[in-house]
């Protein structure tokens, strides 16, 4: 998104071929793809096929006049080494190749192509699977050497339904770098392999904390090789979220203990995944196929100039990413690259799903192909993304994988900014609060979130804040959340959106209410790492390159705000114990969920009846009160057991109350049930 990276400099169109492509346009405004004259039915999974007897190199570069392989004994950081240059031979369908009948294990290589009479810069290749420092040169390795002990037996925890998922979004440095984390491998993949870590007061941290909290999926911010961190200067402790891709199929080196060892980053990433699986959680990768860090220096441009990026008819590169460029997923070889890349991360690294950054930049058909390919491996691999762009695109909106087209994206989830901003307030106006801040008029948007962005007769869609129609076929196709790495974290937002005399206790009540609204709504709940520990980023809106002092999770807060943490833990346990809150079929939501007739600002209530989704509780009533004063609400008569009230929660029950007119405390949720 535009908030993730500095705006990149404008780049020039470097070849006559690109100019020609942009001078001829189709009726929908997209540049006519003259590359369509080149074959696109090429199956390119790898550029290096390694064996001890021969190393076969292949490069799809249909517009190249010549291509060469350059071999090195050392990584690019060594400097001064002269390459051993081997001319590649033009093959069929635009593929260049050369077989080197040697065991090249331990060597490094790059490709270089000649176009328009000049040689372009070297590149590690589009499909590099191992690289040296900063990804400048690809490395020849045997991937079998990277497998940790027991890797062949590694298995993902069982998953029956997408609505059973609880996502925890984290950045490697944020999670472990704090001095009170008790973690030895701070900011590294291996941080998630350490057990028994504690804060100063003896409370669990790190991996043990996650297992104790009860989340099911760890969403890792970009962990492929990205360009904004100099892996040779890690002592500088530079920080970035990583939304600036360099090599898509290689783990980022700065999170490795040995970024100069091509095997180390791969092995340690696998150790991390193995550890997470052994502790009952699955792994989701945040992927950014929608743009690259640069245009002219990218592997895409240095291999097939112009092909991988969209342009406007006047020759300008389009910029729906807000980062200087956008990839053309609708082109066959771009689509194939994306599909093969996600399959590679699943097969080689055993990851369990993908979060697509600015998924709206991609075309619907590409996302369908991603879903199809992953279903063939494991139907429970989860895919979701941002259903929007950060700017305009030549790709017509009807073809984009945006929320508006969500009904076409079957079994692919989109983020619900509708519920997010209804609950906490506008993302782009720090001082504009939402439902939990006592702002009225957002009740229908809250109800839209409660039914998981699906069709329901109880929602007036004309009054939903951003979307005027459902965009999820079923609840498993929507992500419910109130905060993520983008924008203000939850507590900072609540502080800025509240008046000056709002107390910390009231902010905590808002926090609890906001997350309760997420976790008892239909759909897939998502929380940002550290919100359960009263995280703050000092009120900074965009922390993509802020130092650790701003981004780190303060682990001593787990003891300082033990009550808040305990609430999150019990809230997750409540959802996991009661399938009524995680129905997977829209028909069941329509059948079992009805909204209470409440005509008061900042109050929404609903009932779940007849053992919804096989729940042991026959009836459940939930009421949200975002007002700063107590409200009296009418619920069905009879005796009810209390599961949550006045900022406390316990699924086992916290006493009883009589139906009829009941009082719901200020800034809180009331959840009652009977069997």
516, 610: one domain: no
Listed residues 518, 552, 581: the one ending a domain: 581
Which CATH number fits the domain that encloses residue 401?
Answer: 3.20.20.80
Token look-up 């991390």 returns 272
167, 139: one domain: no
206, 234: one domain: yes
Contact assessment for residue 400 and residue 360, using Cβ atoms and an 8 Å cutoff: yes
Q: Is residue 343 part of a domain?
A: yes
**Residue 186: HSE in the Cβ half-sphere, 13 Å Cα cutoff:** 14
Contact assessment for residue 236 and residue 206, using Cβ atoms and an 8 Å cutoff: no
Q: Is residue 31 part of a domain?
A: no
Q: Which domain holds residue 611?
A: 594-674
Would you call 386 a catalytic residue per the annotation? yes
Which CATH number fits the domain that encloses residue 656?
Answer: 2.60.40.1180
- State residue 34's pLDDT score: 54
Report the number of distinct structural domains present in the chain. 3
465, 569: one domain: yes
pTM metric for this prediction: 0.94
140, 177: one domain: no
57-73 as b/e: b if 16+ CB within 10 A:
bbbbbbbbeebbbbbbe
Nearest of 318, 339, 336, 315 to residue 327 by alpha carbon? 318
Set 352, 357, 487, 615: catalytic member: 357
551, 657: one domain: no
Low-confidence ranges of the chain (pLDDT < 70): 1-41
Contact assessment for residue 86 and residue 93, using Cβ atoms and an 8 Å cutoff: no
Output the CA angle 493-435-636, nearest 5 degrees: 145
Which CATH number fits the domain that encloses residue 133?
Answer: 2.60.40.10
| Structure tokens that stand for 551 in this block | 């981004």
413, 285: one domain: yes
How far is 2 from 299, CA to CA, in rounded Å?
22
How far is 158 from 127, CA to CA, in rounded Å?
31
294, 440: one domain: yes
Q: Is residue 588 part of a domain?
A: no
Listed residues 529, 560, 581: the one ending a domain: 581
296, 410: one domain: yes
Set 75, 252, 286, 386: catalytic member: 386
Would you call 378 a catalytic residue per the annotation? no
624, 519: one domain: no
**Residue 154: HSE in the Cβ half-sphere, 13 Å Cα cutoff:** 25
Q: Is residue 6 part of a domain?
A: no
385, 261: one domain: yes
| Structure tokens that stand for 225 in this block | 């090789």
CA 41 to chain centre: 30
Helix (H, G, I), strand (E, B) or coil at 35: helix
Helix (H, G, I), strand (E, B) or coil at 657: strand
431, 401: one domain: yes
Q: Partners of 98 in the beta sheet?
A: 57
């Amino acid at each position: 998104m535009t908030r993730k990276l500095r705006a990149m400099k404008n780049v020039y169109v470097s070849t006559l071929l690109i100019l020609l492509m942009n001078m001829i346009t189709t009726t929908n405004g997209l540049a006519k793809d003259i590359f369509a004259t080149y074959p696109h039915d090429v199956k390119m999974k790898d550029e290096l096929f390694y064996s001890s007897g021969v190393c076969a190199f292949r490069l799809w570069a249909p517009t190249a006049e010549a291509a060469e392989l350059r071999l090195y004994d050392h990584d690019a950081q060594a400097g001064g080494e002269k390459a051993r240059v081997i001319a590649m031979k033009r093959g069929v369908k635009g593929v260049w190749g050369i077989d080197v009948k040697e065991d090249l294990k331990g060597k490094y290589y790059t490709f270089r192509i000649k176009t328009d009479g000049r040689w372009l810069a070297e590149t590690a290749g589009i499909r590099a699977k191992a690289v040296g420092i900063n990804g400048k040169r690809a490395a020849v390795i045997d991937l079998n050497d990277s497998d940790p002990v027991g890797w062949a037996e590694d298995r993902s925890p069982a998953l029956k339904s997408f609505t059973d998922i609880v996502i925890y979004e984290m950045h490697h440095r944020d999670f472990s770098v704090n001095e009170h984390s008790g973690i030895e491998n701070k900011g590294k993949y291996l941080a998630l392999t350490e057990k028994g870590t504690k804060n100063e007061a003896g409370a669990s941290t790190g991996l043990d904390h996650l297992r104790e909290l009860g989340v099911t999926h760890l969403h890792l911010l970009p962990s492929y090789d990205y360009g904004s961190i100099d892996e040779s200067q890690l002592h500088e402790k530079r920080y970035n979220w990583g939304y600036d891709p360099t090599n898509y199929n290689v783990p980022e080196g700065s999170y490795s203990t040995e970024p100069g060892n091509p095997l180390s980053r791969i092995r340690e990433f696998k150790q991390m995944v193995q550890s997470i699986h052994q502790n009952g959680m699955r792994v989701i990768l945040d992927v950014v196929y929608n743009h690259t860090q640069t245009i002219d220096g990218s592997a895409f441009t240095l291999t097939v100039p112009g092909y991988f990026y969209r342009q406007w008819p006047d020759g300008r590169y389009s910029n729906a990413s807000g980062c200087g460029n956008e990839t053309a997923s609708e082109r066959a070889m771009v689509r194939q690259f994306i599909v093969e890349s996600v399959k590679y991360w699943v097969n080689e690294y055993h990851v369990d799903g993908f979060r697509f950054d600015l998924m709206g930049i991609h075309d619907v058909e590409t996302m369908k192909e991603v879903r199809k390919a992953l279903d063939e491996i494991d139907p429970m691999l989860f895919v979701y993304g941002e259903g929007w762009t950060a700017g305009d695109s030549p790709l017509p909106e009807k073809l984009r994988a945006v929320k508006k087209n969500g009904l076409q994206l079957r079994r692919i989830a989109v983020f619900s900014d509708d519920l997010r901003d209804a609950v906490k307030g506008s993302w782009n106006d720090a001082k504009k609060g939402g439902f939990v801040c006592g702002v009225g008029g957002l009740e229908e948007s809250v109800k839209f979130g409660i039914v998981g962005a699906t069709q329901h007769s109880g929602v007036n869609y004309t009054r939903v804040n951003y979307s005027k129609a459902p965009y999820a076929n079923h609840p498993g196709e929507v992500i419910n959340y109130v905060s993520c790495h983008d924008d203000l974290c939850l507590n900072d937002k609540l502080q800025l959106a509240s008046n000056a005399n709002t107390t910390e206790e009231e902010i905590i009540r808002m926090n609890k209410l906001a997350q309760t609204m997420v976790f008892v709504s239909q759909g897939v709940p998502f929380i940002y790492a550290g919100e359960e520990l009263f995280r703050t980023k000092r009120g900074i809106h965009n922390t993509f390159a802020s130092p650790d002092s701003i981004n780190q999770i303060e682990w001593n807060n787990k003891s300082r705000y033990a009550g808040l943490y305990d609430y999150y833990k019990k809230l997750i346990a409540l959802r996991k114990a009661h399938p009524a809150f995680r129905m997977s079929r829209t028909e069941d939501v329509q059948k079992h969920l009805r909204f209470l007739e409440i005509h008061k600002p900042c109050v929404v209530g609903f009932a779940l009846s007849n053992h919804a989704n096989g729940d042991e509780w026959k009836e459940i009533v939930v009421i949200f009160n975002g007002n700063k004063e107590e409200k009296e609400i009418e619920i069905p008569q009879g005796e009810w057991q209390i599961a949550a009230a006045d900022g406390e929660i316990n699924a086992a029950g916290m006493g009883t109350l009589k139906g009829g007119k009941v009082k719901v405390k200020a800034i809180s949720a009331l959840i009652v049930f009977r069997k």
